Amino acid sequence: MKRLLSLLITLAVLGVGLILSLTLFFVGKYEFESQVEQQVGHVHQQVRERFRVFDELIANDERELHKRARRALLRLSEVILHENFDPKDWDSERLAQLSKDYGVDAIYIIDRDTRVVATNFLPDMGFQLGTISEAFEQHLKKMFGTGRLEIDRINVSSKTGILQVYAYYAPLNSDYMLEVSYDVKNFLSHSHSSRYVEFLFGDFFTELEKTNPMLEKVDVYLVNNYAAFPFLQNTAPINASDLPSLPEKGVTTVNKENHIVHHYSRADLNRSTLHSAEYLVIRSTFNLTPIYSLMHKFLGISLVIILVVLGIAFFLLSFLFEKWILRRIFRIIAALERSAEGDYADQMISDRKDELGLIADHINSMNRRIAHRDVELREARNTLEHRVEERTRDLQLEVNARKKAEEELIKLASTDPLTRVLNRRAFDQRSREEIERSHRYNRELAIILLDIDHFKQINDQYGHQFGDKVLIDVANLIGPSLRAADCLCRHGGEEFIILLPETDEATALLIAERVRKSIAQHKITDRHDSLSITASFGVAVWRREEGDIQPAVYRADQAMYKAKNSGRNKVVAFTRVIQS
């Protein structure tokens, strides 16, 4: 008992310590994740604000870049797209020299299928611009031959991922379009300084990562139908299909391995009409490994501290518990065990008037009352046993008398009162049982129906009392000729019926013949009269398809009347009736 109690208390201490530690851990984790969520929202909001500032700072440079693009396109169209223009005349080296002369990075000549047929940027040779998007393809095809000149805002090359400004010019009545591109960073480096470019494209993210210890990296991507290209830093592009589904507002979180978490949000661009499916994706990468490692260390340290404190409290309480409570409880248990064994004379000495002392006093009082009642119970038991024995004898006599009366009633209910053989009701019950047995074991069943010849004349001539003696003698004559399993019943009046289990027609005929001879050879005598009697017999076999015995009784009755009509004192089977 003491070991079990100590074990339970130890488990309880461990459980409490674990629960407290886990509670502190999960509360801290919840607070930490809330802080991370706030930092994520703050970082993404700062990036959006930074992009707005970037857009305003670069607006003046864009206007200057657009002017250069217009001048270059108009001059190049005069040089290239003349009346005898043939794309084959303009190889990459010739176009590269022109791009150098006119201060552009790349020159593209595009046919009406939006395919690049000549360029000094060989990776784009043969590229079909219409595959960028269906809206872009329709827009370009509408420009051909219109004399329109359009310049896209800052875009990303689908081949290199470099920030570019693209300008398009479609001369009047021409089947070709001219396109030029500028590298934005190179243009800004030449027009301002490399420090200015670094300020626009890199410093901000360095500051963000310094002020947010858990923030590992911030990437801004420009997304088109092909990929997501880094917009402000030199980072590898990713497939647009690898991006998660982004709502127009809010942040989407994607958990990676080792507590690396990516947070994505979307910012729409103020684009020109040339591109319709592009937008900005901001991705912040948080490394939560140090924090989770710190939290796990905190969990371990807090668990150790709590267990030490609880352990000290446990040993102190155990000592006091054993001294003040446990020993007294064991004394009470020992006294109760002695009481259970029948020793009520032992009295406990209680030295304290607390709850355990009250229990000890009550146990002493209980023992005294039990001892007194035990004496009374033994006396009452002896008296009760004597009365029970007397009553048991009386009940046994009553039960035997009632059982005998019930047996007599059952016998009277199933026995003919005159002949003392079974009556018709008992025959019906016995026939159902034998039919069920015949079905189960695939056995045959036969019946014999006999009627005393000239019985009415015997009654009329000799009186009913003599007729009753005839019925009694006939019943007594039939019994010795039957087997133990056979059943003799009085069917009514002067008719008797015999049920023969597991008997075929031939055997039934032999039994009937034996009974017939026994009756015919017997003389019935009274005080004044002596008479020989005969009986006519009908034999039939029960058929398996029949539900009860009545069809067989009917056939036996027909055979019996055949015997009477053919001279009486005969045995006739139903099969012979059919043959005749």
Q: Catalytic positions, please? A: 494
Residue pointed to by tokens 């399993």: 485
The Cα–Cα gap between 497 and 423 comes to 10
- Residue 479 neighbours by CB under 8 Å, 6+ apart: 421, 488
- Residue 320 neighbours by CB under 8 Å, 6+ apart: none
The Cα–Cα gap between 106 and 96 comes to 7
- Which residues lie across from 381 on neighbouring strands? none
Consecutive H or E run containing 286? strand 279-287
**Helix boundaries (H) for 158-288:** 184-191, 194-198, 204-211
**Helix boundaries (H) for 164-246:** 184-191, 194-198, 204-211
Per the structure block, which two tokens stand in for 438? Answer: 């015949």
Burial of residue 442 (number of CB atoms within 10 Å: 0-12, 13-18, 19+): exposed
Quick one: how many helices (H) and strands (E) in the chain? Answer: 15, 19
Side-chain-side CA neighbours of 137 within 13 Å: the count stands at 12
Is 488 in a helix, a strand, or coil?
Answer: strand
Task: Identify which of 452, 454, 453, 435 has the alpha carbon closest to the alpha carbon of residue 443.
Answer: 435
The Cα–Cα gap between 452 and 507 comes to 22
Task: Identify which of 332, 338, 369 has the alpha carbon closest to the alpha carbon of residue 354.
Answer: 332
The Cα–Cα gap between 29 and 176 comes to 63
Amino acid at 236: A
**Distance between the two ends of the chain, CA-based, in angstroms?**
98
232 C-beta neighbours (distance < 10 Å), count: 21
Residue pointed to by tokens 């000592």: 319
Burial of residue 384 (number of CB atoms within 10 Å: 0-12, 13-18, 19+): exposed
How far does Cα 132 stand from its chain's mean position?
Answer: 49
Residue pointed to by tokens 């201060």: 103
**Helix boundaries (H) for 442-541:** 455-462, 464-478, 505-520
Side-chain-side CA neighbours of 316 within 13 Å: the count stands at 6
How far does Cα 505 stand from its chain's mean position?
Answer: 66
To the nearest 10 degrees (0 to 180), the angle between helices 2-80 and 204-211 is 170
Q: What are the angstrom distances between the C-alpha of 248 and each of 94, 137, 194, 268?
A: 46, 26, 35, 8
Burial of residue 194 (number of CB atoms within 10 Å: 0-12, 13-18, 19+): exposed
Per the structure block, which two tokens stand in for 34? Answer: 């809330």
